[in-house]
Structure 1
Amino acid sequence: MHYGPGMNSHVTTRGGLLPVMLAIGSGMLAMGVALSALPLELQSRFACGTTMIGLIMGIQSVATVLSRPRAGRMADRLGGRNTLLCGLLCTACSALAYSLALVPVLPPAMQQAMIVAGRLAMGLGEGLMVTGGGVWAVTKVGSARAGAAMSWVGLAIFAGLGLGTALGDEIEAHAGFGPLCLVALALPVAGMGLTVILPASVPPRAGGQTGGPAGGIRWKHLIGHTWIWGLTLGLSAVGFAAISSFLVIFYAAQGWHGGGWALGAFGAGHVIARLAGSRHVDRDDVRPMVAAIMLAEALGLALIWLAPGPAWAVAGSFLTGLGFSLTYPLLALPVLRQAPPAAAGSAIGLFDVFFDIAAGVGAVLSGLLSGVAGPGSPFAMAMLAAVAGCVVMLARPQGMKGGGRGS
């Protein structure tokens, strides 16, 4: 399939995607700003317990999972830019709902309802931003650079989320939740302004058939193209879930200090791999590279699980970030190549669902396993999942490598 003229230069690709990255980054910054402050706000203002806080925070993930297919269909019909624009609007509405929760004349139950509404809006916005931004990026640079496009979009997502979390901590500590809501509102509004002034790329059209998510494409055919790559992505995402949810807890259980540094090492490995590897992901057969980086992820998780001291755990976290970083763009590439052009957004939306489900289920299983087998057990589970991903890629027949549409 082909989306536009394509660009051969890595620098040109990155420059052409910079506005898209800034627009996505603005929404993810807003998400991170609120993410770091909401649990404390729920605890201090409404005296919510940990179970209720977990439910309220988890509502966003449910909304994101449910929004992915709809976001894909919207990207196929309206184009990636307009879908991203709708996602930024939902993100701004989320911050507005958080602001309404501060209105003193509202009863506490209504204030909490506003926060729940904000979480739902943020989940919808995340699905629209990620899927729409990915499709728009691929449309801008062409299918020859699709892997690099997805890699740079992913960098904008994770960098925005990480920086937003740090920014939210500082704003909450020095100014409070009210100014934080204003920042979370201003960021996506600025992203919307940038997105509106950029030209929209024309999405590919189907040949007039009906009966599927985009023209004549049926969901069962998209799932057939997507499931093996999505399954592998999900196996890789278990490690992300274990580290993001339980690495700090693991450090505390071992009596170590510096769990935040270990999380930072994961983020550093992720960013370094994206910066160094984005020019190498566009290849005919992604299986060997996916198997290699998932093996690196498995080794990093094993280092954490067996770490005799905090320095080993930091090294393992860094190696896990290196391995996990490029799984998404590499595995998204055959999904885009196998899906008909008019259904690219729907295919990516379905592909993203595998990540969402694996991250959520991985976090739950990590918690259950940690309570039964100790705080290091989630990393052993994630290591086995990454090894299973290697096996899936190595066992996939050469003739089914996803090198082109219909393969």
Structure 2
Amino acid sequence: MIEKTKAAAVTDNKTDQNFAQLITPIITSVFAIYLTIGMTLGVLPDFIKNDLKFNSLIVGLVIGSQSLATLLTRAYSGKITDTKGAKLCSSKGIKLVVFSGLLYSLSAVFSSNFYLALGLVFLSRMVHGIAESMLVTAALTWGIGLVGAEKSGKVMTWNGIAMYAGIAIGAPAAIWMKSSFGIVYVFISVILMAILSWLSTLKLPALPVDAAHIRKPFYKVIGLISGQGLGLAFSSIGFACISSFVSLLYTEKSWGNPSMAFMTFGLFYVLTRVLFSSFTDKYGGYRVALVSLSVEIAGQLLIGFSVSQNMALAGCALTGIGFSLIFPALGTLAIKKVTPQNRGTALGAYAAFFDLSLGLAGPVAGLIAGWYNYQAIYLFGATSCLLAMVILFSNTNKKKKELVVRG
């Protein structure tokens, strides 16, 4: 009995080592690319407003244009990943990041011509957004294909850590670099990070592509995973409320520097992913999603009814914990709805719900703040999470009824 236990432990250890060897290059690649996204977010608002002399509306349009490009190319990214392979899709995405870095650099060189520079920045943001769409879809599909669908939750979890860590580190690093050396060096670093991303996955094997397989159209895949996608969309609103409006809440309440709120959310988000990365594969996406949504609701309500800065910080922490595992939890349920040959398309469609949520949550939350106050936004966030739970329950009951009918 003891020998069997030891043998199982050795097997598990080898499995973990194999997982790390296969997934680390992909995570490194994703981290490098999201460093470039964080770096541009850190310097572009100041560059557009103070160097190019445009107003806040233009700043918002420029920053948002990348997300729009990402959303609109999710279907294309999924198709390329499924039909040409994740490695090829990743390589094309990296080339686009290099191209965007060149465009960013040109905008800095021609900054004296305000409209030309602005046009170059807009173009670079669109290219950067397309690259992000291709790289994330490819990275998730590639990782799951290499380690197996049974570890899909773990793959999604570590990809998420790389993404958020890249943004969190990239923004302050770029601000320091700009003040020390100039913005051109920031944009050149975008190109260098893209090259690092390419080098990190250079030796990884490509996934086989079944060219003969008839793939479902994107709109049909959306229909298959719409339950999980809508659950993700509604659960993401709490995150959008914090990222967009917590600083204004702090100003309204005279609570001082809001950076602690962002840091608290980010810290607990990452810690939860690191400590509980195996929970989705171990306990199932449905259970993890329900528990996560319950915690996120509690966090949003705490912020909504907060009477002190510490109470709001506790709400940010709970929101970070709750939101952290929802993407991988619902994602594992989504990819079970399709064949491996449609996995890239499914992941692209699933992520599109997240993009759409972030795009719509800001304006709706802004209207709520105008009608009531900033704390009311977080009651909207809690209600959205509750709707995500209802959708999850509804889909589960529907599945049970279908099984009964088939039986």
TM-score normalised to the size of structure 1? Answer: 0.91
Letter in 2 for 1:202: P
- Please say if residues 296 and 320 of structure 2, whose CA atoms lie closer than 8 Å, have aligned partners that are also in contact: yes
- Please say if residues 110 and 116 of structure 2, whose CA atoms lie closer than 8 Å, have aligned partners that are also in contact: no
Deviation at 1:140, TM superposition (A): 1.1
1:156 to 149, 156, 162: 162
For residues 65-104 of structure 1, the aligned pairs below 5 Å read 65-104=71-110
Highest Rg: 1 or 2? Answer: 2
For residues 236-255 of structure 1, the aligned pairs below 5 Å read 236-255=235-254
For residues 53-64 of structure 1, the aligned pairs below 5 Å read 53-64=59-70
Are 1:337 and 2:336 matched, yes or no? Answer: yes
Aligned residue pairs: how many? 391
- Please say if residues 292 and 390 of structure 1, whose CA atoms lie closer than 8 Å, have aligned partners that are also in contact: no
- Please say if residues 288 and 393 of structure 1, whose CA atoms lie closer than 8 Å, have aligned partners that are also in contact: no
For residues 277-296 of structure 1, the aligned pairs below 5 Å read 277-283=276-282, 285-296=284-295
Are 1:226 and 2:244 matched, yes or no? Answer: no
**Runs ≥4 in structure 1, deviation > 6 angstroms?**
none
Are 1:383 and 2:382 matched, yes or no? Answer: yes
- Please say if residues 222 and 349 of structure 2, whose CA atoms lie closer than 8 Å, have aligned partners that are also in contact: yes
TM-score normalised to the size of structure 2? Answer: 0.91
SS of 1:281's equivalent in the other structure is helix
CA distance, structure 1, for counterparts of residue 13 and residue 86 of structure 2: 19
2:190 to 176, 181, 184: 184
- Please say if residues 291 and 394 of structure 1, whose CA atoms lie closer than 8 Å, have aligned partners that are also in contact: no
- Please say if residues 8 and 145 of structure 1, whose CA atoms lie closer than 8 Å, have aligned partners that are also in contact: no
Q: Structure 1 10/299 Cα, relative in aligned 2: closer, same or farther at 3 Å?
A: farther
Deviation at 1:249, TM superposition (A): 1.4
CA distance, structure 1, for counterparts of residue 293 and residue 111 of structure 2: 53
The structure with the greater share of residues assigned to helix is 2
CA distance, structure 2, for counterparts of residue 84 and residue 312 of structure 1: 43
SS of 1:319's equivalent in the other structure is helix
- Please say if residues 238 and 378 of structure 2, whose CA atoms lie closer than 8 Å, have aligned partners that are also in contact: yes
- Please say if residues 284 and 329 of structure 2, whose CA atoms lie closer than 8 Å, have aligned partners that are also in contact: no
My pick for the range that moved more, 172-181 or 292-301, is 172-181
CA distance, structure 1, for counterparts of residue 380 and residue 312 of structure 2: 16
Give the match for residue 126 of structure 1.
132
Give the match for residue 314 of structure 1.
313
- Please say if residues 7 and 144 of structure 1, whose CA atoms lie closer than 8 Å, have aligned partners that are also in contact: no
- Which deviations, in whole Å up to 9, do the C-alpha atoms of 1:358-406 show, x marking residues without a partner? 01101121122222211212211111101111222233335628xx9xx
- Which deviations, in whole Å up to 9, do the C-alpha atoms of 1:93-130 show, x marking residues without a partner? 11211100122497322111111111101111111111
1:136 to 138, 142, 163: 142
Identity of aligned residues (%): 25
Q: Structure 1 225/262 Cα, relative in aligned 2: closer, same or farther at 3 Å?
A: same
- Which deviations, in whole Å up to 9, do the C-alpha atoms of 1:199-233 show, x marking residues without a partner? 22223x2644xxxxxx2423343122210000000
CA distance, structure 2, for counterparts of residue 220 and residue 369 of structure 1: 32
- Which deviations, in whole Å up to 9, do the C-alpha atoms of 1:12-61 show, x marking residues without a partner? 42342110000111110011001111000001111111111111111111
Q: Structure 1 66/194 Cα, relative in aligned 2: closer, same or farther at 3 Å?
A: same
Q: CA RMSD in A?
A: 2.1
- Please say if residues 249 and 374 of structure 2, whose CA atoms lie closer than 8 Å, have aligned partners that are also in contact: yes
Q: Which runs of 5+ in 2 are unaligned?
A: 1-11
- Please say if residues 291 and 391 of structure 1, whose CA atoms lie closer than 8 Å, have aligned partners that are also in contact: no
Deviation at 1:8, TM superposition (A): 7.9
Deviation at 1:331, TM superposition (A): 0.7
Give the match for residue 3 of structure 1.
none
